[in-house]
Amino acid sequence: MNSAVLAAARQRRASLLVPALLATYLVWGSTYLAIRFALESLPPFFQMGTRFLCAGGLLMAWVVWRGGPPPTRVQWRNALAVGTLMLGGGMGLTASAEQHIGSGLIAAFIAVMPIVMCAIGLAFGQRPNRWELAGMLVGLAGVVLLVRGASFAGAPAGLAAIAVAVFAWSLGSTLSTTKLPLAPGAAGFSSEMLCGGAVLMMISLALGEQPGWPVQPLATAAWAYLVVFGSLVAFSAYMYLLANATPALASSYAFVNPVIALFLGVSVGAEAVTGGEWLACSVILAGVGLIFRGKSASPHS
């Protein structure tokens, strides 16, 4: 009976991996453009802080309504540390960088995330297999090609912000699965969003950010999209992947997001994309394929 229950639990986890991956691939690929639209009226840290406080509050209310146990004091402490890194540093600085750099370049730069997570993970005994490592290297090569394209340009301040954002997000992701575990399930996701949102709002207050009133309809719609899909759906899916997949697979969204961002730039933003940039996207997707190959070859999968 115990083996049957364990087998059923493993099968259920495996069945949720694909929709969780699709959420991080497709939804997060579109959030870069949504962040840019929201910046028309909402400054970066204020935008991210209100987004995560709203999403975290809704999710925590659902947890309480369902009668689930609240996070313990230690789990709230962990949520504060992880939320400060992943949301306060990672998302806040990403939105800040989009004031200076195009969303496509931001998405391309963030594709180095698996490499950073791999380097940080080595300190915690996490090592990718040879297929996953090859996928990371191929994906990184594709990102280098993408950044060299004619459509990308950036400012030093923006590049510094996104570089720190990548490190902060990677460190927070690694700590959440090693030294600073969150509460199980939705309670953990919501506590991290509430803590991270509070930190973002304190930064916003310290910087003296002021929304542009009245808020433009496009900015309002983009903010709502970020709350519902970017936070409640995709962020929860990402945290599920961190707990149930290899670090390489969980972070493979960073290879796909630049492709989604480019497609949206062409179809929505009327951006011109060169043949070399489309080639770079193909190389990135090849890296994702190698990571999937590594996942299927892993004896722990």
What is the distance, to the nearest Å, from the Cα of residue 67 to the centroid of all Cα atoms in its chain? 29
Mean pLDDT over each residue of the chain, to the nearest integer: 83
Instruction: Please give the Cα distance from 44 to 42 (Å, whole number).
Output: 6
* 3 within domain boundaries: no
**Model pLDDT, residue 163:** 85
Instruction: Decide if pLDDT at 55 tops 70.
Output: yes
Quick: pLDDT tens for 23-37: 888 998 899 889 989
The average pLDDT across 197-203 equals 97
With residue 36 as reference, give the H or E element that holds it: helix 28-38
Q: What is the mean pLDDT of residues 258-277?
A: 76
274 vs 120: CA distance, rounded Å:
34
Residue 256 within any structural domain of the chain: yes
* Chain CA centroid to CA 178, Å: 18
Predicted pLDDT of residue 11 = 57
* Among the ranges given (15-19, 100-104, 146-150, 241-245), the one the predictor scored with the smallest mean pLDDT: 146-150
Q: Is the pLDDT of residue 299 over 70?
A: no
Highest mean pLDDT among 211-215, 233-237, 240-244: 211-215
Pairwise pLDDT comparison (20 vs 7), residue with the higher score = 20
The Cα–Cα gap between 231 and 39 comes to 17
- CA angle centred on 174, ends 38 and 165, rounded to 5°: 35
Confidence class for position 90, pLDDT limits 50, 70, 90: very high
Residue 253's pLDDT is what? 79
Residue 26 located in a structural domain: yes
Contact 247, 121 (CB under 8 A): yes
Structural domain total, the chain: 1
Coil, helix or strand at residue 219? helix
The answer to whether residue 7 sits within a structural domain is no
State percent of the chain over pLDDT 70: 86
Residue 159 reports pLDDT greater than 80? no
pLDDT reported for residue 139: 80
Residue 66 within a domain: yes
| Distances in whole angstroms, Cα of residue 298 to Cα of each of 68, 127, 294 | 34, 12, 6
Nearest to 188 by CA among 85, 65, 68: 68
pTM of the model: 0.81
Residues 97, 242: Cα–Cα separation, whole Å: 25
Residue 78's domain spans which residues?
18-297
pLDDT of 186-197, one tens digit each?
Answer: 899 899 999 999
What per-residue confidence (pLDDT) applies to 268?
81
User: Alpha-carbon distance 61 to 127, whole Å?
Assistant: 38
End-to-end CA distance of the chain: 22
Closest by alpha carbon to 204, among 1, 76, 50, 18? Answer: 50
